[in-house]
Structures are given as structure tokens and as C-alpha cells.
Amino acid sequence: MITRLELRHLIECGFLPLSCSCTVNPDGSLMIKIFDPITGCVELLVTGVSTASLVSSQAIASLIDELSSEMVARKIAFRVMRQFEPASL
């Protein structure tokens, strides 16, 4: 069984070189905040992550992969949106 402390450590290390803060909420769910350590810019903030299925290293790796993919998708969407913005006057 993986303790909450170990779970937090594994998730936080999974996003290096970005910084990650993983907080256990009163209901046992997680809040995961991934941010740039230099600028402090938040790349992704996810709340209410259930720990029920995070019982193996494979499940934790899948969560990290899913959140990493979400960050990439958001960056791509942001770039596409910026391409279609009207030029500044």
C-alpha cells in the first residue's frame, strides 16, 4: 500500500523540471498544481483527484501521463487561438 506521503512525492517528482504541489484535501482527494519554478506561472491546476485508484506505480504513472498530456493540449490550443487573434493597432 502506498501512503499519502509517498503518493504526493511520486506525483510531485513526476513533473520535474516543473514544480508540482500536491495537497491532500479534507475529503481525501488531491489538489495538484503544476507551475514553472522560475516564473510561478501555473501550467495546470486540478482539484478533486480521487486517490482510490492510485494504488500502484502504474496507476500513478498513468495519472502523471494524463495530466502531462492535458498540459500539452492546453499549450497547443493556446497557440492556435493566438494565431487567430486580430493584430494589435
- Could you read off the pLDDT of 44-74 as tens digits, one per residue? 999 999 999 999 999 999 999 999 999 999 8
3-state secondary structure of 62: helix
pLDDT band at 89 (very low <50, low <70, confident <90, very high): low
- C-alpha dist (Å) from residue 84 to 48, 52, 70, 80: 33, 42, 22, 7
Longest dimension (CA), the chain: 59
- The residue extents of the domains of the chain are 4-83
Query: 3-state SS of the chain: helix, strand, coil percent to 5?
Result: 40, 20, 35
**What is the pTM (predicted TM-score) of this model?**
0.82
Q: Residue 29: name the closest of 12, 6, 4 by CA.
A: 4
3-state secondary structure of 40: coil
